[in-house]
Structures are given as structure tokens and as C-alpha cells.
Structure 1
Amino acid sequence: MSAAIPAFAINTVTITSSVLSPDCVSYRVKGICYWLLCTLTGCTVRTSVKVEHYVPDAVVSSYSNTGENPWVEVRAMSMPNPTAEDGGDGTTNEEHENNLAKFKNADVIGHPGSTLFSQFISQWGYSCAGAGTAFMPYLLSTLDTVAWRYNVPESLYPEALIPGRREIGTRLGLNLWGNVYPRGGFLHHVDDYKAAAVVAQRAGDIVTRRGQVHVYQPLVANAYDGYWPAGALMESDASTGKWQELTPTLKNTCAVFPHNERRVQAQRGDYAWALWRPYACCQRRGQIFLGSVDFY
């Protein structure tokens, strides 16, 4: 069961407090690291515990009306501009017709709860740093107009043209939420929550990779001795990242898309999730890293 309370407005204080979630952290001891420590008297091998846990790297907002990011304090980052003015669903002004064309803006901004998260996770012991910087804009769809609003060039990618590739859910499982490609703001859907989730997944897919044909900053950390950062986000794979809903319902658990949890439709089509990603690390105990052994 997922505990949830209504979240009619989302602000930095609410987002910061949402990091107090043991379910999302999923802290565990993963293995042992070996280090070579050399002094004037000789060299010895020392060990340290290798841990793994999730870190709230970013807040991903997926919303209909341009300039109305549900995270109030960062709304000014993505106001309308001459190339990105309008938003919302398509309409033919025919009341009897159910028009399924939808458009969502998306913003990926560094999670503001890093300080509180560090204090919270210290109860388990050693912890790993994430890739995100608080309030850093990694993707603002209003600045990514060509790719986000015209699907250029991703509408021609094999992932966008071949059914069954890079999809959130499956047709056989009768739980298909949508396609990851083309990674833009348009899609057809009868369920606004699912449409927003698909767009959030697209935004997360972009920023967790380098060299994508979008206007963005990579949300990626570099590996080094004793530190294994999160890799590229993949849909429906919790080992690459998972989502904590912030609005319209504030939840204290994480899940991947698709899921069977209760879904609340936002009245104004604005949604936000925290993107949690897995990191592994161990404390440095010597000058030379000899390797590590995992328990599983």
C-alpha cells in the first residue's frame, strides 16, 4: 500500500520533506571494497563496505499550460517565449467528440532536498553522492522547441517508427501507457495521468544520457575508484531509476511506470515526480583501489 495525501500546491518545502522515504532510498549493503594502503613501514590491504541506495536527483514536472510548472518557486525558469507559447490538449470545439491529442511541457530541475536527504540517510551509515545539483535546470522544454514541439529528428528514429520498441508497458500485458520515442511533448491518450507520466519518462530518458539531440544538460556523474554512479534511465526498470509522485498526490513510496497504484487526475493537467536513481560507493581506505566483491 502507498500512503498518500492530497497535494493541491507543490512548493520547495513540500518537495524537500518528501525525501524522508525509506522505501525510495532502498539502502542496502552491496559488497566489500579492497584498497592498498602504503606507508613508510610497508603496504597493507584494507577493506570498506560497499553500499547501494537511491538518491533523489531531480524533480520532473509534466504539465499542460506553458509557464505553469506546478513547482511554484521555479516557474519563472520556463515561462512562454516566442518559440514556445501555448500548450494544452487539442480540441475541435465539438462537445460530443473525444479529442485525444495532448501536449505536455516538461522541466527537469535538480532536487532541492539534498541537505535533508544527507541527514536522513546518515542513520544507515556511509552514503553516496548523486548527480543532481539543487535547483539546476537540466531540461526546460520551452528552450528545446525544435525537438520538443516538432519531434525533429526523433520522429524518424527506428524507436519511433517500429511498434514494440521503447514502450512503457506492453500490448500483451494490456498495460501499455505509451511510447518513449519521439521524446517530445505530443502524444495521444485518453488518460491524462498516464500521458503526463510518459512525458516525464521521456524527459528523464534524455537527461540521463549524453549527446542527445535536445537542448539540455546531462544529469550524469562520472565513475571513479569506489564510486559507481547511476546509468541511463530505462522505462519499467527500477534498477535504473524510479519515480515518487509529488503532485497531484504526494506519496512516500516509489514506483516505475506502468504501475497499478491509485492515480489522481490533475484538474489543470499539471504533474510532478521526483526521479530517484541508484548509486553505489565505498569509503576510500588506501591509495590504490584493488577492486570490489558484490554479495549478490
Structure 2
Amino acid sequence: MPHSPSKASRFIAVVTAMGLPISAPALNSAIITTSSLSPDCLAYRIVGVCYWLYCTSFGCKVRTSPKVRHYVPDAVVSSYSNTGDNPWSEVRSMSPTNATARSGGDGSAGISHENDLAKFRNADVIGHPGGAVFSQFVGQSGFACPGAGQILIPYFLSTLDSIAWRNNIPELVFPEALTPGMREIGSRAQSNLWGALYPRGGFLHGVDDYKSAAVVVQRAGDIVTRRGQIHVYQPLLANGRDGYWPAGPLKESDPSTGKWQELTPTVSKRCAVFPNNLPHTQSPRGDYAWALWRPYSCCKRKGQIFLGSTDFAGAHQ
């Protein structure tokens, strides 16, 4: 017998549909799944045409199918101060404290004259639980492209990446970490600098806890969307094939590579990149989470041989 949605799930669905951010006292899979029903984050578009060669015993002909592009919530990326205390309750047991990752918390009390003190944040990247609910949602718009994320699969757990995440080895001496203005989220010139992407570890400086958490999830997202990084992780990447163009590396402040949907301390129906001017709330527990949405393009197979595709002018802008 199918289960009816809980009152909490129905409430979140209604408020999310209204476009209002809501407080999320306890983040769980039901809340995350419901939050994926966001037309703003999905951004479904027909961007071109695919061509297929279809052959039978009577001959061959060229068939076409629409090429679509939309975003998929690949993962939930959490940033939290207390080690072992992921705000997503069902996956908390995936990242407990261990011999090399015990302590957590900030060296700063969030006071302006203490902005030279270091904050430390853990980060986890875990496959989004939306699954069938999201697929059904996309199906209302048309053909759906699969994402790279697998439900509840851990792609990065900072407690298992202690050498790199807690000691910044070896990224502390990378050019990106030593060169001001290189790989930064925002810019000093525009007075919206949230932080530096490198070194991609858990320590950073800043009094705004929300922005610090955002920088850390961007770092974790940057790691898992690339291959061959000097971290303990598994890539969150899919392989391209005929009629399927998966998302590539995440790039800060570039929505064409991915965007973020806040899940806690508030649930938002909107997606954006960092930095942004969306309202944000400081978490009293120092824990935050965002869904990482990434763009995929695909078309339905209409023949045995893929002949190529044509994109409409300006379709990917």
C-alpha cells in the first residue's frame, strides 16, 4: 500500500511552490526530495535537434529528436562545524569522528575584530535522494536526462580526507592558493568577495558564517567534479555517449557549470551561484547544506546510429 505524504512534506511542498524560503529545523531526505520540485532550478529548455539514422530491411532514413537541456540535483553538499554532526540526519553516520578527524568548530566567535581567526568546517558530498520523485517531475516537461549522482552514495567525506582537508597538504603551495585574485568566489573590486577557493580544505577566515560555509561547499563541489585530484573522494561525473552530454567541472560563479539550492537553515526553491544577493540566515548550530544542480543535455534515441546534433542560436546562454 503506498504511503501518503506526511503533513510536513505537504507543508513544505505548498510553501516551496509559493516561492518562499522556509525554516528547516531538521534536514531529512523527505525535505530534500520535496525541495527538488523546483522549476527555477530545473530550467528545462529545448536547445537543439539530434539526428539519427534509422534502418530497417526496407532501407534507411534520418529521424530527428529534440535536444533538451536541464539541471539535475546531483548531490547534497553539507558544511558544518562540529565533526560528526552533518545536518542531514539520515547520513550523519557516514562521517563520524575518527582518529585523524575528531575536533571541529571555529577559532572565531563571529566578532568583527576577530576576523583574522580561523574557522574550520567539515564537508560532505552525498548523492541526492530525489530519485524517482524528481524524474517524475521532469517527465512533466518532456524527456529527462540522467545525472551523475547516485542516491545516498558518498562522493566526499572530509573526515576521510584528513591530510588534505585539515592540513592543506599539498594545496597550500599551489599557485591558486598563493596568487591573490586567482580562483576566488567574488572579487575585492566588486566588494563581494566571499573567500578563496584554494587551498581546498576546511580552514578559512571570515566572520560571516553563512558565506564561510558557502565557500567550503564550493571547494568540495570543485573537488568531486574533477578527476585526479589529490584528495580522498570519488568523482561525481558521468561519461558522455551518443545523444548525451553530461555536466563537466564545476566553476565558481558560473551557472553554466552548476548552481546551488539552499536546504538548511532555510529551504529555498531558487538556485543561484556564489556570491549572490539572496537573503540568507545564519545557522545557530553552524551547519548548512545546499543541493548541487548541474546541467545535462540529451535527446531520445530515434535510430541505430547517431549522426550529430544542431544547437539553436543562443540556446545555451
Q: TM-score range by the shorter chain?
A: over 0.9
Contact residue 2 and residue 261 of structure 1 kept, 8 A: no
Match of 2:272 among 249, 255, 261: 255
SS across alignment from 2:213: helix
Structure 1 residues 143-184: Cα deviation after superposition (integer angstroms, max 9, x where no partner): 000000000001111000001110000111000000111000
Note the 1:76-225 alignment, pairs <5 A. 76-90=93-107, 98=114, 100-225=117-242
Letter in 2 for 1:217: Q
Aligned to 1:282: 299
The answer to whether the 8 Å contact 2:112/2:207 transfers is no
Superposed displacement of residue 96, structure 1 = 10
Matches within 5 A, 1:264-279: 264-279=281-296
Contact 1:3 1:253 in 2 (8 A): no
Q: Which runs of 4+ in 1 moved over 3 A?
A: none
Give, as a single letter, the amino acid of the residue that structure 1 aligns with 2:267: L
SS of equivalent to 1:117? helix
Q: Distance in 1 between matches of 2:233 and 2:276?
A: 28
Partner-residue secondary structure (3-state), 2:144: coil
Give the whole-Å Cα distance in 1 for the aligned partners of 2:270 and 2:131.
18
Q: Name the CA distance, whole Å, in 2 between partners of 1:259 and 1:3.
A: 17
Which of 28, 45, 60 pairs up with 1:43? 60
Please give the per-residue CA displacement for 1:214-245, whole angstroms capped at 9, x wherever unaligned: 00010000000000000100000000000000
* Deviation sequence 1:33-88 (CA, Å, 0-9, x none): 00011111111000000000000000000000000000000000000000000001
Per the alignment, residue 43 of structure 2 pairs with 26
Q: Which amino acid is the alignment partner of residue 84 of structure 2? A: G
Deviation at 1:98, TM superposition (A): 2.3
Q: Counterpart of 1:201 in structure 2: which amino acid?
A: Q
Displacement, 1:21? 0.3
Q: Distance in 1 between matches of 2:136 and 2:237?
A: 23
CA distance in 2, matches of 1:72, 1:261: 26
Q: Which secondary structure state, in structure 2, belongs to the residue aligned with residue 216 of structure 1?
A: coil
Secondary structure of 1:147's counterpart equals helix
Unaligned runs of 5+ in 2: 1-17
Kept in 2, the 8 Å contact 1:35–1:45? The answer is yes
**What SS does the aligned partner of 1:277 have?**
strand
The answer to whether 1:70 aligns with 2:92 is no
Number of residue pairs aligned between Structure 1 and Structure 2: 294
Q: State the identity as a percent.
A: 69
- The equivalent residue for 2:255 is 238
Partner SS for 2:114: coil
Q: Deviations over 1:95-137 (max 9, x none)?
A: 9962531000000000001110001111111010000000000
Task: Tell whether 2:228 aligns with 1:228.
Answer: no
Letter in 2 for 1:165: M
CA contact (8 A) 1:30 1:50 kept: yes
Counterparts in 2 of 1:247 and 1:135: CA distance versus 1, 3 Å: same
Aligned partners of 2:176, 2:163: CA distance in 1, in Å? 18
Residue identity opposite 1:177 in structure 2: W
Partner SS for 1:109: strand
Q: RMSD value over aligned CA atoms?
A: 1.4
2:76 is matched with 59
1:106 aligned partner, one-letter code: A
TM-score by length of 1: 0.97
One-letter code of the match for 1:48?
A: S
The code of the aligned residue for 1:112 comes to P
